[in-house]
Structure 1
Amino acid sequence: MKALSRKVADIAPSATIEISDRAAQMRAAGIDVIGLSIGEPDFPTPAHITRACINALERGETHYAPSPGIPALREAISQKLETENDIPCTPGQVIVACGAKDSIYEAMEATLNPGDEVIIIDPSWVSYEPCVQLSGGVPVHCGVRESDFQVDDSLLEAITPNTKMIICNSPSNPSGAVMNDASLRLIADAATDNDCYVLSDEIYEKLIYGKDHVSIGSFDGMADRTITVNGFSKAYAMTGWRIGYAAAPDPVAKQMIKVQQHTISHPATFAMHGAVAALTGDQQCVEEMRCEFDVRRQYLTGALHEMGYETAPAEGAFYAYVKTGGDDMAVSARWLADAHVAVTPGTAFGTPGWVRLSYAASLDRLKEAMHRIAVLPEK
């Protein structure tokens, strides 16, 4: 047989999904594994959202829809971005995709040419680099200051004449850090000065503790070069619905729509009606989940600190990013094998020596996980 795609062969599998699958195999063998490796809220989708989807099914909303999304959802998203995020946006600039991940991939396919460089700020979500590679781009990694997980002038050193895009993720997966005004303005100025796009992944914007979310697309002049990505998975516990979106400058939006027309066509029609209810309905459900995450956050970071571990600023999302002081791959493997606690090694996020713990688990399970780790014999 002829060789398969070299481009795909060179891409590593998703570390978070791989570890989750391994934990599932252990559970199938009867082992009580506490899964803190995957970023999925443990809450049910709010009832009014589910009901809106069921109503759509019962109305017969089971046929093709416009490729960029149903008009009601594109309108609701554009209004949300204008009123909540101060981003100028028309419904025509919105593309509804199968999750935020799909939106990111489509944005890169729409903007990148072979050899174009994309700056990824580490620690970074595991799928940014593969999306760049699949789109023909070249990933360029740049770290944050370890003292506060903010961007510094090392970003400017990473820029070359081939830089096409800078990825901005706040709150961060995996660190939970929220970019401050200085970091966002540094990115915005760098993009403006070097005529780059910014892809702003804001999927965790609703899950912030003690800070305010700021969209880089709201800065003067940035709406014309920012692709804002968001979705419903984290804030509304809708991971399995596969509904995300992007808002992009008109030329980019048109390119993204072409990519979508020739790949997924559009997300499930009835699911999009549920997403409309999520945006336009009562938001108390989001606040209740955020408050529960905050309780877990305070417990988990406190317990880790008592055990002597250093953590990144857990200001948003639902992750504790923990400095291991050693081989993160070995630590993760030992915690899974000996304590039956599944976490994700920081190597997957571009920062060896750290591990990510998700607190999208009940407080009782978090307490049990911390007990299991605490009683492991020293090595």
Structure 2
Amino acid sequence: MTDDQGFRCNKDGIARVWAYIGDNDPTRGECHGSIGLAQRVAEKLNGQMLCVDQAMLDSCFVHTDSIVRQFHILGERHGHPDIVIGWMTLPEYFTQSPKPTILIPESLGAMRFNLFSGGILRDLPPHHLSADRLAAAQTEFLERHPGIATPLTAIFTTDLWLSADAIEHVSTMIWNGSINGTIYLCPSRRTDDAAYDHLRQIFESAAAKPKSGIPATIIAPTWNDIQSGYNPYNGLVAAADNVIMLGESDSILSECITNGRPVYNDTIRCAGNALVEQGYVRDIMRHDPSTALDSHPLRPVNSTHIIADHIVAEFDRVSRLRITQPGMVMHEPCRLNGPKPVLA
């Protein structure tokens, strides 16, 4: 720890960044985003990131169910956190000395609303994907699917129930040959199994006897297939020529846009106006079913790095204050619009 570096909570001078997601499913978009944001912050600080969830705490600390005690022991073993990110975080969880320099107990949505006054960044939550991860995911995807027919169209289903009108519209496009090559379906945990199976059957029927005579191959793993085997999601984000999203998911929008991929969606009323105006989100229901999707890439946008830069700058500012004012503690959690330090 040096004056130039700013205050660090551990004697080795290495910044620790925790992502705390509580008892939530780590595969949720909000959790993925918190973990990815913490990872980016740690990388920018040449620090270490630790993902903390309740299952990990309960399995590692079977002799206590006190989260305060669990956090204290975890910090002693792995280094006390300098920064904690996660909407499940509460200041009272941290009783060790020194306490974290920055606590961010906000949802990803609150972060971007507080930081960005407008434009597409306000509509894009941080996420876990990076250029390196996407490149690795694309390599693995193509290795698993050698010679896959192109164009590759990814169809992500995000809701419990799927719009019958959207299914009919997309199946008409398949039948017309507007969507051809390979159509790869990727369900979410929220998608009802019966609804997904119905979707698959309709698309396979349209692809089997297309009016255009242009063949299309349907690949449709179930959610159980994905849970027990290969998850194609990252590979599809990286490799797909076209993306269709049936339902609502800010996370999928943000992750696809990171790769400069426009998203055709049946619920664009839920997307931000700037995303629609700049062509990142397009209404599949208004797309002429006899016309191919526009696969021309757009400028990639990654909100994760921008938010991470802000957190690092705020951490740098406050950690330097802690050097010059050793008695300073964080009186309130940081809300990304200026922490409120007071002298202890």
TM-score of the aligned structures, taking structure 1 as reference length: 0.27
Asked which structure has the greater CA Rg, the reply is 2
TM-score of the aligned structures, taking structure 2 as reference length: 0.29
Which structure has more RCO (C-alpha within 8 Å, separation ≥ 6)?
1
